[in-house]
Structures are given as C-alpha cells and as structure tokens.
Amino acid sequence: MAKDTFFRKKATINARGKLIDLDTPKVMGIINITPDSFYAGSRKTGIDEALQQAEKMIAEGATFLDIGAYSSRPGAADISAEEETNRLLPVVEAIAKNFRDAVVSIDTFRAGVAEAAIKAGAHIINDISGGELDGNMFTTVARLQVPYILMHMKGTPQNMQQQAHYDDVFNEVYSYFLKKIYALNQAGVHDVIIDPGFGFAKKAEHSYGLMKRMEEFERLQLPVLAGISRKKMIYGLLGTTAENALNGTTALNTIALMKGANILRVHDVKEAVEAVRIFMTVNNLS
C-alpha cells in the first residue's frame, strides 16, 4: 500500500472515549454465542467459555472482540430479538467487567439489540445488513455516538446466496457504500468502517473480484475491515474444510493487508497479529 496516496483515509475511531489508531492494522477476534455458526471453533455456549476465549484473544493481541449471538451463515435459522438479547447481554456484561480495556463490537442487525449491548458495556456496532434489516439502526447509532461497521449484503442470511448476481460486483458494492455513507452522515454518525461483505450474497468469484480491487475503496476515505476468516471462498477453492482453512486464511489476510485493510476480523488472532507484524515491517522499510 502506497504511503503517499492522494486520498487520506480516516485513521482514528473513537470507541466511547477510546481513541484507536488504524494506521497500524488491528485484529478483531470473533466470539460467537451461537450453536450453529459455520466454524465450530468459534462457538462458545456460555459466559465461562466466552471469557476464556476473550482472555486468550486479548493475550494474543486482539484490539477488538466481536461478539455475536445470531448466526449469519447462509441458510442459518432465524431467531427472535429476545433470544439474541438473552444470549448476548450476559456475555457482554461479563467481558466488560473482567476486561475493562477490551473494545467490544456487537455483531447484530437489530437496533434494539445493539442499543442494549452498548448500554451493557460494548463500544461498536457491526451490522451485516447496512441498516437494511432495521430502519432504526442509523438513528440509533447516531444517538449512541459509537462507531458503526457498515457491511454490504443483499437479502437476509436465509436467502442471500440466491441473490448473488452482479453485472459488476465492485461498482455495485462501491455505489452501495456511497449511498449508505451519505445516509449515515446525514443521520449524524461520525465513525464509519466499511466491510465489503466477503461471502455475503457473493459467490467465490465475486469475493475474489472485490479482493482484487479492494485498494480502490481508499477513495471513500474510511477504514476498511476484511472478514474472510475460514470462509468458503477459501476452503472451497482449496478443496478442504473450514477447520483446515487457517493457512489459506493467513495467505488471504496478508493480501488484504497489502490491499489496504485496516482491520482483520478473524477466528485465529495469533496468526493474524503475526501477519500484521510482518506486513508492517516490510511496509515501513525505507
């Protein structure tokens, strides 16, 4: 990634008073309080397991912990907002109490769930639907004044793979971001992170097409999150499984860093942190 680019990307976010510099890429560890997330290694069934995973990820160098209680894998079962909240809040409260320096992101598309989690101690809202599945999301984020991760997806987790049709995937995703960023700015949201939504309503060729051109998102002048960890775009290409896709994930995370990613959202923090360290060492050589 060129150091002297014409477009100057926003490099700092304010997570409830915690200023985080994204000029050096950061790692976000995934903790799923679900029984059916696509990668079994990410599933934590209760507070104790979630706390153990949080402690491990923080020790390995995670800046963010992304906690979700609604599985968004293709075809996953829909659950009620009440069930999502009941799974999520005890874990958020426990992590906020036991790891006061942790920056917690909440993976939800429901404004009410997001607000409850922020009040319980979380810092960031990570919305796979870009506000499409809850019309109150943007105004809620603006009122709470927390960073918002804006992801591209079409449809819902239940039907998104039937909507993986594009004439030009990059330009369609880019146009989507332009429209959504304008709406967020109008609502009064100040810290936005964009996520191309690899694998969400996208076939492997769409996801790789986005990766090839990912540095062009620099024109939006916002931080970029890459969420590719152990996904089908990797294990399907390599003829393996999610459980055996760590090497492929590290390779693609490294490419994402070279393409301008500011945050790597991963199941395996240690390996991602090492990739960032190597990338920064090379990138900082004169």
pLDDT at 91 over 60: yes
| Rounded Cα distance, 170 and 176, in Å | 10
Q: Which two tokens stand for residue 18?
A: 């915690």
pLDDT for res 36: 56
pLDDT at 118 over 60: yes
For the segment 98-111, what is each residue's pLDDT rounded down to a tens digit?
A: 999 999 999 999 99
Per domain, the residue ranges of the chain are: 12-283
Q: What is the pTM of this model?
A: 0.92
Residue type, 205: E
∠ CA 30-31-35 to the nearest 5 degrees?
Answer: 125
pLDDT for res 70: 87
For the segment 251-274, what is each residue's pLDDT rounded down to a tens digit?
A: 999 999 999 999 999 999 999 999
Question: Which residues belong to the active site?
Answer: 231, 265
pLDDT at 189 over 70: yes
For domain 12-283, the CATH class is alpha beta
Averaged pLDDT of the chain: 91
For the segment 131-172, what is each residue's pLDDT rounded down to a tens digit?
A: 999 999 999 999 999 999 999 998 777 788 888 899 999 999
pLDDT for res 16: 87
For the segment 7-49, what is each residue's pLDDT rounded down to a tens digit?
A: 567 789 999 898 999 999 999 999 998 765 544 555 556 899 8
